[in-house]
A and B are shown apart, each in its own frame.
Chain A
Amino acid sequence: MRYAADRILSLLLLGLAAFIAVQAWHLEVPFSYDPVGPKAFPLLLAGLLALLAVVLFVRPGPSGEWPSGALLLRLLVVMGLLVVYAALFIEAGYLLITALVSVAIAWLFGASPLKALVGGVLLALGSYLLFTYALGISLPTGSWIEPLLGAN
């Protein structure tokens, strides 16, 4: 078990190398002015990667510590939150979604519910003011506000 992680990685890298090689092989080139062309470099790299992966399989290092159980769940939740943040960034508008996600993350990172709520909301508001007024960046408003505005 001590070396399992590097062995798995080595197999993944071998798969990646094979995938790249196949993809590169099937590139259709109308014509090329240089003798190397677009295929050679990726093929070379795939070969090199495969070679290094084999070496890694033969001489793996210690596995290190991997998350499991409750920690793994939390990592997935944070990643999920970030995906939700991305998905609703434009639809919900910067202020709303940033506040919601910030509160959730703050809470996940051990803040008390009250701290998380105040901190998250202030963070969203403060960053919004900083970006729009000090830096002149335009951020999405959120499409749900549109009907309220009646603009277009």
Chain B
Amino acid sequence: MPKSSSLRRWLAAAVAGGALLAGAVQAQAKPPECIAPAKPGGGYDLTCRLAANGLQEAKLIDEPMLVTYMPGGIGAVAYNHVTGVRNDDPNLIVAASTGAALNLALKKFGAKQSVDDVRWLGALGVDYGAVVVRNDAPWQNLDELMQALKKNPSSVVIGAGGTVGSQDWMKAALMAKSANIDPRKLRYVSFEGGGEALAALLGEHIQVFTGDLAELKPQLDSGEVRILAALAEERQAGPYADIPTAKEQGYDVEWPIWRGYYMGPKVSDEAYQAWVERLRELSQTESFAKLREGRGLFPMSKFGDDFDQYVKKQVASFSQLAKEVGLTQ
């Protein structure tokens, strides 16, 4: 989608009688653009704005970055768009997350689409899954909850913001699997987004919520909830220092939710490298660290080939997991 400002330039040029200055308008004529494969306001929107605001503040781009919304098919519409229509646009990046990797693994972007079809660019931040209960819940730590589940998997009502096969569900399923419980025996309720599930937890409609660590900060501060475990490699700093990981409590589950970007498959190596460098540079500035923290994200810096490998490995392991928990054959 060519953007309006190039037309503005064109009109201005035409009016000035210089319609033939075509050659002078270089690659930078088009402003950089980020597609958020969702409606305004969601996580992908925030991911795009993280890049848009960060890059502009750090003066790494000349023109403000456009954020375009392309909802549909939990990201599939945007994925097909970039692998098909705009597969070589050097000014276009698309927001992605662990959820996109999961959907690729579950073949939800279409049977033909694979993780190899785009150029994975890098990630600028990460959040971690968390197992949350109300502050008056009977379980003081993860082990007590897991023992209760082992005794009777359907005795505890678990809720989260996604359907079977979604990220939130995967967290619950992986927790169950780590204690040799069949995820299908759980009592799981899916809500429309984490906010609704959190409200259901506070309203005592569900007992356990498998959410994300940083989004729980307000309720953690007010003491309304207790986080039994963070699904991270290691403990996080600051207000989260007291929250143990699942791993240190004997349940080997990690669920990082990275926030990153990809580009079209036919983008030239130079353009791709330029973006990799831009993002790498951005991640090292101080103003960006503040911006990232404001969005409730922990630091994560993986760029270029490094990130590409990471995503591909993740998709492979998700495919394996999906088979194990009975989602795909």
Contacts and interface: CB of A to CB of B under 8 A. Distances in A.
Interface of A: 30-33, 90, 93, 95, 132, 138-143, 145-152
Nearest to B190: A33
Interface in B1-19: 1-10, 19
B4 A141 contact: yes
Contacts of B9: 149
A141 B8 CA distance: 9
Q: Chain A binding site: helix, strand, loop or mixed by DSSP?
A: loop
A93 B24 CA distance: 22
Nearest to A90: B1
A148 B2 contact: no
Interface size class of B (residues with CB under 8 A): 20 to 34
Contacts of A148: 10, 19, 22
Interface of B: 1-10, 19, 22-27, 29-30, 66, 68, 89-91, 164, 184, 186-190, 326-327
7 contacts: A31-B164, A33-B186, A138-B4, A150-B24, A151-B29, A152-B27, A152-B29
Given A30-B326, A33-B164, A151-B27, 19 more contacts: A31-B164, A31-B326, A33-B187, A33-B189, A93-B2, A132-B4, A138-B3, A140-B2, A142-B2, A145-B2, A145-B6, A147-B22, A149-B10, A149-B22, A149-B29, A151-B6, A151-B30, A152-B27, A152-B30
Contact of A30 (B22, B27, B30, B327): B327
> A-B pairs with the 9 shortest C-beta distances?
A150-B22, A151-B29, A141-B2, A141-B7, A138-B4, A33-B188, A132-B4, A138-B3, A31-B184
A37 B96 CA distance: 30
Contacts of B186: 33
Contact of A143 (B2, B23, B188): B2
B1 to A, nearest CB: 6
Given A30-B327, A31-B184, A152 B90 contact: yes
B4 A139 contact: yes
A32 B327 CA distance: 11
